Amino acid sequence: MKKQIIIGGLAAMLLVVTACSSPAPANKTSTTTNTTTTSTSNTNKTNPPANSNNAAPANTNQTTNTSETKTDAQTAKQDFTLVNATGVEIHSLYITPHEAKDWQEDILGRDTLPSGESVDIKFHRNEKAAMWDLRVEDKDGNSIEWENLNLPEISKVTLHYKDGKAWADTE
């Protein structure tokens, strides 16, 4: 009887240890797409780029897509609201420090940002970079990039696309 209790206890502990030490399932997808890229610079009202092919509505490890309300002491100076006024649903959104060499992960994950809607972009409050690049992609992988956004000076970015031209208004 004692052996059965000991064996049962060991089996239960083994199950608990196995369950607690298993990594959470990762939500990673890898796709290869052809993209058309247009870059613009940040000013309070940017002019449309000279040529842009398709409406292409774009993480750093330190950004999150949340709608939580935080106090000023808890918010990062780079936090901003992104408004999609492109007329195209944004399927991927990337934000990275300007000096970074890659786009890192898609902030939207499995979500999308339909035209006419907005999302609050929250940064880790210890983030120090001021200049950031933003990239959006549509469902076909067409992309548009905005470079050198001075996020500590911006609270809202509204993306537009009309007649083959993309631009962003900042506030």
- Over residues 14-50, the pLDDT tens digits come to 444 444 444 444 443 333 333 333 444 444 444 444 4
Rounded Cα–Cα distance for residues 134 and 58 (Å) = 6
Kindly state the average pLDDT of the residues 117-132: 92
Rounded Cα–Cα distance for residues 89 and 24 (Å) = 30
- Over residues 85-101, the pLDDT tens digits come to 999 999 999 999 999 99
Higher local confidence (pLDDT), 106 or 55: 106
Task: Give the pLDDT of residue 10.
Answer: 52
Task: Give the pLDDT of residue 49.
Answer: 41
Kindly state the average pLDDT of the residues 110-124: 95
- Over residues 63-80, the pLDDT tens digits come to 444 444 444 445 578 999
CATH 2.60.40.2890 fits 35-170, yes or no: yes
Task: Give the pLDDT of residue 76.
Answer: 72
Kindly indicate the confidence band of residue 161, based on its pLDDT and cuts at 50, 70 and 90. Answer: very high
Rounded Cα–Cα distance for residues 95 and 108 (Å) = 11
Distances 90 to 5, 49, 63, 121 between C-alpha atoms, Å: 57, 19, 18, 15
Q: Where are the domains positioned within the chain? A: 35-170
pTM summary value: 0.59
Q: Give me the chain's average pLDDT, please.
A: 73
Task: Give the pLDDT of residue 146.
Answer: 95
Task: Give the pLDDT of residue 127.
Answer: 87
Kindly indicate the confidence band of residue 115, based on its pLDDT and cuts at 50, 70 and 90. Answer: very high
What does the DSSP assignment read for 64-82? EE------TTTS-TT-EEE
Task: Give the pLDDT of residue 36.
Answer: 38
Q: Is the pLDDT of residue 169 over 80?
A: yes
What does the DSSP assignment read for 98-121? TT-SS--S-TTTT--B-TT-EEEE
Q: Is the pLDDT of residue 124 over 50?
A: yes
